A and B are shown apart, each in its own frame.
Chain A
Amino acid sequence: MAKVLVFIDNPGAALKKSSLELLTIARSLGETVAAVNGELHDDAASTLAAYGAQALYRPSATDLDDYLVGPKAAFLAAAAAAAGAGVVLAENSAEGKEIAARLGIRLGAGVITDVVAVDPDGTAHKSVLAGSYTSAAKAVTPVSVLTVKPNSITPEPAVTGTAPESITVQVPDVTAAAARVTARTDKPASGRPDLSEARIVVAGGRGVDGNFGPLEELADALGAAIGASRAATDAGWIGHDAQIGQTGKTVAPQLYISAGISGAIQQKAGMQTAKVIVAVNKDAESPVFEIADFGIVGDLFQVLPQATAEIKKRRG
């Protein structure tokens, strides 16, 4: 059976949901092994065992996080070779895709990004052109590298757990030709879920007119992440990391609540694969109403606080 290598980067105290999803997909494709960079706490190690990892490949170097991408790709290539992996799975984050890209060249392996499902024969299903097409693609090389979008599968532990052995992999030194992180400033945590992985997103645009307060209150009542259109980020009302659309993030949540966003095609590109779309806008002619499952022509400063109050009331 083919070996499937899952890349887990800095698992921290507990594995992220997206990592659990990768492990679940890996088991459907073959024998699961993991390449783990960074500290491995006992809890994370036991989760890897519960999810059926047969072996854990650890880098000989501890400074991979001080560099961008290149050294991590070199580690992963060495781990894939040591494991004899036929498939490598990684996160679909910007960094995950870049690592996959460089890894692909190192292994001579085809790389497929934005994957939402993988067939047992390795065929990857993905959405392309901002979700306006779905396609099935396959690597024609002996090894394939796939980056899988979050929320693609429900994570499930293996029927029988494992006691994975730990194997140290010698990382070739590529740091001379790598970009180095010389300073890092942490941003204050919002306490809200990560925008790319959130189950619910509340997004605001020009109509918010500088006041995201009502959106934040609704988001917190729903446990949602906050997003924005380019008009709102360009106006400086909210950070650029909140931008959804062609030049920002693509999100595919269960529920997308659009407030004060007209829904031009560039915005649509970032959210049209959401399962349910709700739109609130004063202008009945806004294009967003063409794709909304539930649309309200009205003032977001009236509608959102009323909805927030109603949610709180129902929950007592």
Chain B
Amino acid sequence: MEETLKIIVLVKHVPDAQFDRHLTGEANTVDRSESILSELDEYALEAALQLTEARGGEAAGNKVIALSMGPAGAVNAVKKSLQIGATEGVHLSDEALAGSDAAATSLALSAAIRHLGADVPADLILTGMASTDGETSLVPAQLAERLGLPQVTFAASLELDAGKLTARRDGDTHADTIEATLPAVVSVTDQINDPRYPNFKGIMAAKKKTITTLSLADIGVDAAQVGQSGSWTAVETAEARPPRTAGTIITDEGDAGIQLVEFLAAQKLL
């Protein structure tokens, strides 16, 4: 009989990368008005579901908690996660969180994770390999540092056994096997699994699942510690890069390779 697992999956609503994305407002933060569940977070959720299903799933007492921080729209990432199979959802939402940088975000998330682990601590905190919008990839590492936990990023495989995890990482020059004690913060790549889609049963079941909304007061964080006032970095200016324009387009009539080399020579790139 395997022990039961409690896994917290961090999910984020991000601007749909299929459309143009914008920075907005005085603090130059990302406009999230057209947002979806980050594609990369679906791999983390799938990994959590596979690990818990192998141990008897929800019926055996395993938990997969989808946690999202952000304004009202962030709840959509939680709802989608519940439809896919998370057992419960948590939405950390507070006006004071707006404009938080990685340091402030990791502070709030670490407090939320401690709050959610007050009775039974989580065994694993799972994230996607990066957020597709902020791109700084700082939050998982900062979360691990704040929680004093080992961190394994870019896991291409993940197994848990007897309070320990084993993961495989594929680097540019070498592949590594990694071990760490639980609890741990783990980010998974898009190679780890094929995420499932929500089916009709899942969508119906999600309607009965609980979404808990937490405020900063609930998790014991002072408003001044987060948002712009609690951030350790400030964006001073942001400018849209002038769009690239098309240059010379030719159709190959038998000598395009030579014309290509001539172009490179003219650009002093040879």
B257 contact from A112, A187, A305, Cβ within 8 A: A305
Is B238 a contact partner of A134 (Cβ separation < 8 A)?
A: yes
Q: Would you give the shortest CB distance from A10 to chain B, in whole angstroms?
A: 12
The docked-state distance in angstroms from the alpha carbon of A189 to that of B173 is 7
Question: Which chain B residue shows the least CB distance to A297?
Answer: B251
Instruction: Flag A128-151 by CB within 8 Å of B: 1 or 0 each.
Output: 111111111111110000000000
With a cutoff of 8 Å between Cβ atoms, the chain B residues found around residue A160 in the complex are none
Report the 9 A-B pairs with minimum CB-CB distance, sorted nearest first. Answer: A306-B257, A298-B252, A110-B232, A101-B141, A179-B180, A293-B247, A110-B233, A307-B257, A183-B177
Residues on B with C-beta less than 8 A from A183 are 176-177
The segment out of A21-29, A54-62, A80-88, A284-292 that lies at the interface is A284-292
Q: Check: A165 CB closer than 8 A to any chain B CB.
A: no
When distances are taken between beta carbons in the complex, the residues of chain A under 8 Å from B103 are 104-105, 110-111
| Per-position binary interface string of chain B over residues 22-63, scored 1 when its CB falls under 8 Å from any chain A CB and 0 otherwise | 110000101000000001100000000000000000000000
Residues in B neighbouring A106, C-beta threshold 8 A = 145
Q: A278–B101 contact, CB under 8 A? A: no
B152 A179 Cβ-Cβ under 8 A: yes
Q: Does any Cβ of A come within 8 Å of B175's Cβ?
A: yes
Interface check A265, CB cutoff 8 A: yes
- How many residues does chain B have at the interface if contact means C-beta atoms less than 8 Å apart? 86
Residues 232-253 of B, flagged 1 when their CB comes within 8 A of A and 0 if not, give: 1111111111001111111110
A37 to B34, CA, bound (A): 44
Q: Which residues of A contact B148 (CB under 8 A)?
A: 177
Query: What is A's interface to B at a CB cutoff of 8 Å?
Result: 68-70, 73, 94, 97-98, 100-102, 104-106, 108-114, 123, 127-141, 176-187, 189, 194-195, 200, 222, 239-241, 246-247, 254-255, 265-266, 269, 272-273, 276-278, 280, 284, 289-299, 302-311, 314
17 additional A-B residue pairs with CB within 8 Å, beyond A127-B241, A181-B178, A296-B252: A73-B145, A97-B136, A97-B138, A100-B138, A101-B138, A101-B142, A104-B103, A105-B145, A111-B136, A128-B23, A140-B231, A179-B151, A185-B175, A186-B173, A246-B17, A255-B269, A295-B247
Q: Please, could you name 11 A-B residue pairs with CB atoms under 8 Å apart, sorted by A?
A: A68-B152, A69-B151, A70-B144, A105-B103, A129-B21, A133-B238, A136-B238, A247-B39, A291-B246, A305-B257, A307-B257
- With contacts A70-B150, A180-B179 taken as known, whether A132 is within 8 angstroms of B21 at the C-beta atoms is yes
Taking a contact as CB atoms under 8 Å apart, the answer to whether B137 and A294 are in contact is no
- Measured CB to CB, the closest approach of chain B to A186, in angstroms, equals 5
Residues of B within 8 A of A134 (CB): 238-239, 241
A278 CA to B250 CA in the complex, in Å?
Answer: 11
CB of B240 within 8 A of CB of A133, answer yes
A110-B103, A113-B138 given; A102·B236 CB < 8 A: no
Chain B residues whose C-beta falls within 8 Å of the C-beta of A241 in the assembled complex: 170-172
Could you tell me if B260 and A296 are in contact, using CB atoms closer than 8 angstroms?
A: yes
How far is it, in angstroms, between the C-alpha of A115 and the C-alpha of B51 when the chains are bound?
Answer: 38
The answer on a CB contact under 8 Å between B249 and A184 is no
Interface string of B220-238 (1 = CB under 8 A from A): 0000000000011111111
Q: How far apart are B107's CB and chain A's nearest CB, in angstroms?
A: 9
Q: Is the CB of A141 within 8 A of B150?
A: no
Smallest CB-CB separation from A189: which chain B residue? B173
B234 in complex: contacting residue of A137, A179, A293, A306, CB < 8 Å: A137
Partner of A181, one of B176, B235, B248: B176
Q: A110-B232, A182-B178, A185-B174 are in contact. Are A307 and B261 (CB under 8 A)?
A: yes
When C-beta atoms are compared, the residue in chain B nearest to A294 turns out to be B263
